[in-house]
Chain A
Amino acid sequence: MTKIVYIEHTGKSHSLDVQNGLTVMEGAIQNNIPGIDADCGGSMACATCHVYVKEEWFNKLPKKEDGEEDMLDMAFEPNKFSRLSCQLTVTDDLEGLVVQLPSKQA
């Protein structure tokens, strides 16, 4: 289990223990965190699991694979700290990761 902190657009914070191997998106969906839609179910085809990663965390994450940046073009209000949470697999290295959720996904 790894602690992941999800902060809703309103500022409401959810600190969850997510099983290693799941994605940050799945952690949110399984715990009914509002603000992550994940319409396509994690196949990097919809950009509705978009999150902003806290700056201090952003460079510690595995780099984006081909295609993720393309999908982020379609996300709602992306910025340079944007990631798709379906592409972030939870490991011990992510202990304490903080992600902020956009005001909406589309």
Chain B
Amino acid sequence: MIKTDALIIGAGPTGLFTAHQLKLIGLSCEVVDNLDKIGGQCIELYPDKPIYDIPAIPECTGEELTNNLLDQLKPFNIKFHLNERVEEVKKNNDNWEVKTNKGTLFNTPNIVIAGGVGSFEPRKFSPKECEKFENKSILYSIKDKTIFNNKTVSIFGGGDSALDWAIELSKNSKVNLIHRRDEFRGAVSTVNEMKALTKNGKINLFTKYQLKSIKGSEKLESINIEHDNKELKTLKTDYVLGFFGLIMQLGPIANWGLNLDKKTIKVDTEKFETNQKGIYAVGDICHYPGKLKLILSGFHEGALAARACFKLAKPKEKYRFEFTTSSKTIKDRLGKKND
């Protein structure tokens, strides 16, 4: 059981700056994120896209913004729990008990949800019957590529993941690559390599096709793919891989007794607290009159939620507002020399 003054859910820009604010005012905090990397939407959706409305930064990409926020956190030792999704939140006396999908347990008076639009999950195939074979013969990520040796694998998608795996698996497997159009959005060199392998018969390429249905009772046997012109083809296959990128799902947050409005959580604008004492929501996931889904708004919301955390984490102490330019205590926390 990890005891911490505040637990932040979400390692996007808002979560990172909230961590900074918590540490600056002398609280401990840890961060959980479902992705395998820090940065949230900035890293997952638009690492290379320039952002022009971060105050005092005329232009930066999602990746640069993330790196700058991490630099700002350097003086503090913050524990990140990546690849973990918070599943359960339960009240235990005055504190919250939080459990992740990997079994990590936290005990904390404060939970700050900086979850964007929820956690990133792979986008899935549309036919309903695919669920039955999910994680068995229908996969959205690969852990052990040797299971495909000498098997037939049908790969769907047009980006780098689909192309890289088609090329890699063509060494030891029979590979079908299926994509909804003729153009691929992967790197040019990868597309060329795939096309060369297609010419050599190492990859069977089907463009303008999408998955229509699957067949198999115990074991997956074949799939039907449909062309834009409605023509159907049946492919025998042992495995089906889908690489359609990630989508944000609210996930377990919906079960924590919070006041939800569609995919957002209602908060007050003093503490950014939800209807549950000690649970705050900041950034894209929170909603209040006038809410703007801007990164700069997330920074402000995190700063205020951090001050609210102080009251519950240190009920016997009084929070004193201080400036980083003049406070000796804060400079000590930042590891800066005092003049």
Contact = CB atoms under 8 A, between A and B. Distances in A.
A and B interact physically: yes
Contacts of A106: 123, 247, 249
Nearest to A79: B228
B41 A40 contact: yes
Interface in A27-54: 37, 39-41, 43, 45-46, 48
Nearest to B159: A73
A78 B263 CA distance: 23
Interface residues of A, number: 18
B45 interface: yes
B49 to A, nearest CB: 8
B99 to A, nearest CB: 26
A77 B126 contact: yes
A45 B46 CA distance: 7
A49 to B, nearest CB: 13
B247 A48 contact: yes
Interface in B46-64: 46, 49
Nearest to B46: A45
B157 A73 contact: yes
A74 B210 CA distance: 12
A58 interface: no
A80 B49 CA distance: 27
Contacts of B49: 43, 45
A70 B183 CA distance: 9
A48 B123 CA distance: 11
Given A45-B45, A45-B46, A48-B247, A70 B185 contact: yes
B45 A78 contact: no
Contacts, number: 50
Nearest to A105: B247
A74 B181 contact: no
Contacts of A79: 228
A41 B293 contact: yes
B244 interface: yes
Interface string B190-226: 0000000000000000000010000000000000000
A37 B123 CA distance: 15
A55 interface: no
A106 B117 CA distance: 13
A66 B24 CA distance: 43
Contacts of A77: 126, 210
A39 to B, nearest CB: 5
Contacts of B179: 73
18 contacts: A39-B248, A43-B45, A45-B45, A45-B46, A46-B45, A46-B247, A48-B247, A73-B180, A73-B185, A74-B123, A74-B245, A74-B247, A76-B123, A77-B210, A78-B180, A79-B228, A106-B247, A106-B249
Interface of B: 41, 45-46, 49, 117, 123, 126, 157-159, 179-181, 183, 185, 210, 228, 244-245, 247-249, 263, 284, 293
